[in-house]
Amino acid sequence: MTSKWYVIHTLTGQEEKVKTTIEGKIQEGALKEKVFQVLIPTEQVSEVKDGKKKISLRKFFPGYVLLEMDLDDETWYVVRNIPGVTGFIGTKTRPTPLLESEVNHIIKQTEERKEKPTPKVIFEKGDSVKIIEGPFINFSGIVEEVNPDKGKVKVMVSIFGRATPVEMEYWQVERL
């Protein structure tokens, strides 16, 4: 039997608890040699709180846990009855495995986003913002250009009555 990836639906906020329980069942032997990986896809996000840059983890798919496993009646029953699990994604009688390309894409995304934090807030051209960090602190302006690859925005700020473009990092501005 070849293992496949399945998605289990959990109560929101119970993903870590479900993952820990599954890992415990692997150790106990109930799922030994049948469940190979338990994954909660996450990304690092950066935000500014109280003037300090803070990096935290955010789940891509809140309420879901990915399992690489050999699915049979026994493993289906054990996983299905873990507290916090509401079911598998698929039909009522048979879970549907993810395609290998989908799994590879999710894993690649997870690895990329762990290395480079994404901003919690995404800006768009025309947004009104206030600068909260740097030499232009407390200035307000309009987002003129957004560069998500670099995590920067160009803000038009009025300095001495003249509109001046200022390039800022995402975390240096907040939406008004």
Rounded Cα distance, 114 and 56, in Å: 10
What residues does CATH 2.30.30.30 cover in the chain?
Answer: 128-175
Superfamily of domain 4-118: NusG, N-terminal domain (3.30.70.940)
What residues does CATH 3.30.70.940 cover in the chain?
Answer: 4-118
What pTM was computed for the model?
0.66
Q: Which CATH class is domain 128-175?
A: mainly beta
The number of angstroms, rounded, from the C-alpha of 43 to the middle of its chain's C-alpha atoms is 4
One digit per residue, pLDDT tens: the chain, 176 residues?
578 999 999 998 999 999 999 999 999 988 888 999 999 988 877 766 666 677 778 888 899 999 999 999 899 999 999 999 999 998 877 899 999 899 988 888 888 777 666 666 778 899 999 998 888 899 999 999 998 777 789 999 998 889 899 999 887 888 88
- Residue 111 zone, left/alpha/beta (φ > 0; ψ -120 to 50; rest): alpha
